[in-house]
Structure 1
């Protein structure tokens, strides 16, 4: 029987969101040493490069942070094993859905926007509540009486792996979302990946 995860999520959430990602590692200076990995099992380890991950955290549950629109993000399929993120705006990048770690400030409100982040008021394309993981955490702490806002995963269909993360049955249970701007492609290329149908022969006359 798994231990109950608090509504604010596992203890490592604050450290994960405040990490200084994509800076060069001071201990491993050769090769691609940018720090974009995070170990959920080792408190205080902070962002890690791929070499530090292999050296001291082999076999641990880790999360890889990625860049999207110059902001830190993470794939939904990875983070949803640890946190409930179904009410956060998702985007599609290279056929994978992502969510942003931090708020993306918006200079002026978007006219005609039907939905907005409950924390920073950023316009949202989907009928969701938050633009990022950090915004959800802020509102969760400001409104502890609202039990509908939580980072804790549902009790059914999961198996704990020792770091506050769980394996979920429906890992892709999210609706399609808009793509991020700039250089990323949308998921619309799915048509090109579809296999051709089996040709039908004309009936014998």
Structure 2
């Protein structure tokens, strides 16, 4: 089945990239956890898990979220198409790729490798930041999508409880982090440890140290920090 807007792009793929996920399912609007986070390749529509009984024999693709954007697992994507040179990320111990490019608020600087399609900064040796960017580049070069698509007759969802249905934004990148980022992170951790050692000491420990210092007649740094007050103002003598 071909799309009228692009004779070389399958309708299921065009629907997948243009669909809006994680909205409430209107059929099950009163049910809990009714987010549309599943895509049916045979019906070319997004569904929630309450709709699964109507799509038992269909090819189903689990949609996940990473930094507030739609992603799919690399293992699922490779069953459908060639995902080489599309940057992958690791979230919740699973490798994922973005369906569409993320918007950029500022121009990418100090990046030696950018996405060929949208100019987003990438890690080497990747060329595309999302599946959509790779497809757009293939279409610009008048390439045939059939050379990049795989025949997939069976595509099932993961077993319940074996995988997270929702990927949280606090995930980590799969590529290695550069030295500058590591240095900044290390500096931040050192500052946090210093602040913790000085100011985040429990009240009981502070009072115990102050009492011990008083008994030994030793000035306490903790007492100075905990009772840091200005002295009484005194007027300078008149000349």
Length-normalised TM-score, structure 1: 0.67
- What is the CA–CA distance in structure 1 between the aligned matches of 2:145 and 2:62, rounded to whole Å? 28
- What is the CA–CA distance in structure 1 between the aligned matches of 2:64 and 2:132, rounded to whole Å? 16
Q: Residue 46 of structure 2 aligns with which residue? A: 47
Distance of aligned partners of 1:130 and 1:149 in 2 relative to their CA distance in 1, 3 Å threshold: farther
Which has the larger helix fraction? 2
- Please tell me whether the aligned partners of residues 89 and 128 of structure 1 are also in contact (alpha carbons under 8 angstroms): yes
- Mark the runs of 5 or more structure 2 residues left unpaired by the alignment: 1-6, 156-166, 175-239
**What secondary structure is seen at the aligned counterpart in 2 of 1:122?**
coil
Please tell me whether residue 65 in structure 1 is matched to residue 63 in structure 2. yes
Report the CA distance between 1:161 and its aligned residue: 4.5
Please tell me whether residue 23 in structure 1 is matched to residue 10 in structure 2. no
- What is the CA–CA distance in structure 1 between the aligned matches of 2:8 and 2:131, rounded to whole Å? 11
Report the CA distance between 1:113 and its aligned residue: 1.5
Please point out which of 82, 97, 101 is paired with 2:95. 97
Report the CA distance between 1:185 and its aligned residue: 4.4
- What is the CA–CA distance in structure 1 between the aligned matches of 2:64 and 2:48, rounded to whole Å? 13
- Spell out the pairing of 1:67-146 with structure 2 (5 A cutoff): 67-145=65-143
Choose 1 or 2 for highest CA Rg: 2
Length-normalised TM-score, structure 2: 0.58
Q: Residue 190 of structure 1 aligns with which residue? A: none
- What is the CA–CA distance in structure 2 between the aligned matches of 1:79 and 1:23, rounded to whole Å? 22
- What is the CA–CA distance in structure 2 between the aligned matches of 1:92 and 1:42, rounded to whole Å? 29
- Please tell me whether the aligned partners of residues 9 and 152 of structure 1 are also in contact (alpha carbons under 8 angstroms): no
**What secondary structure is seen at the aligned counterpart in 2 of 1:124?**
coil
Which has the larger strand fraction? 1
**What secondary structure is seen at the aligned counterpart in 1 of 2:11?**
coil
Please point out which of 170, 187, 202 is paired with 1:183. 170
Report the CA distance between 1:162 and its aligned residue: 2.9
Report the CA distance between 1:42 and its aligned residue: 2.0
**What secondary structure is seen at the aligned counterpart in 2 of 1:140?**
helix
Distance of aligned partners of 1:149 and 1:41 in 2 relative to their CA distance in 1, 3 Å threshold: closer
Q: Residue 162 of structure 1 aligns with which residue? A: 153
- Please tell me whether the aligned partners of residues 80 and 152 of structure 2 are also in contact (alpha carbons under 8 angstroms): no
- What is the CA–CA distance in structure 1 between the aligned matches of 2:145 and 2:11, rounded to whole Å? 20
- Mark the runs of 5 or more structure 1 residues left unpaired by the alignment: 1-6, 154-159, 166-179, 188-205
Count of paired positions: 157
Please tell me whether residue 151 in structure 1 is matched to residue 166 in structure 2. no
Distance of aligned partners of 1:66 and 1:104 in 2 relative to their CA distance in 1, 3 Å threshold: same
Distance of aligned partners of 1:57 and 1:118 in 2 relative to their CA distance in 1, 3 Å threshold: same
- Please tell me whether the aligned partners of residues 33 and 51 of structure 1 are also in contact (alpha carbons under 8 angstroms): yes
Note the alpha carbon deviations across 1:139-189, whole angstroms, 9 max, x for none.
Answer: 1111115x7995324xxxxxx5437x7xxxxxxxxxxxxxx99511467xx
